[in-house]
Amino acid sequence: ELVVRVKNLLWRIDLARQAQPHTQDNCYRFAGYCLNVSRHTLERDGEPIKLTRAEYEMLVAFVTNPGEILSRERLLRMLSARRVENPDLRTVDVLIRRLRHKLSADLLVTQHGEGYFLAADVC
């Protein structure tokens, strides 16, 4: 159990490092959206888009790994590490569906048998 806790802690530290954008305004920009990791907000053309904590955490995972296929299991581990309550594989599917509804539906692409990826350039 101690080994699992240490691994989770190290993984959370690594995830936090990845979540720091290389811009001065702490925003990841993609497809007309701005994800501000300092304020935990998402905007499109200056208009705020409400996200739940879990939706925000999942979107951070995608923008910090642009173009990379993230398996449902990996996304689940990311949600678990960020203390999202009771995540399971169906949680990932539901969050993807909700994010697709809030974002442009074609931004989150399903790679059948592998996972999901963000189909946008991130800067």
- CA torsion 41-43-47-48 (nearest 10°) is -20
pLDDT (tens digit per residue) in 11-53: 666 655 555 545 557 899 999 999 999 899 999 998 999 999 9
The domain made up of 2-118 is a member of CATH 1.10.10.10: yes
d(CA 15, CA 117): 17
pLDDT per residue as tens digits for the range 42-92: 999 989 999 999 899 999 999 999 889 999 999 988 887 666 566 678 889
Contact yes or no for 105/113 (Cβ under 8 A): no
Token pair in block for residue 1: 């159990």
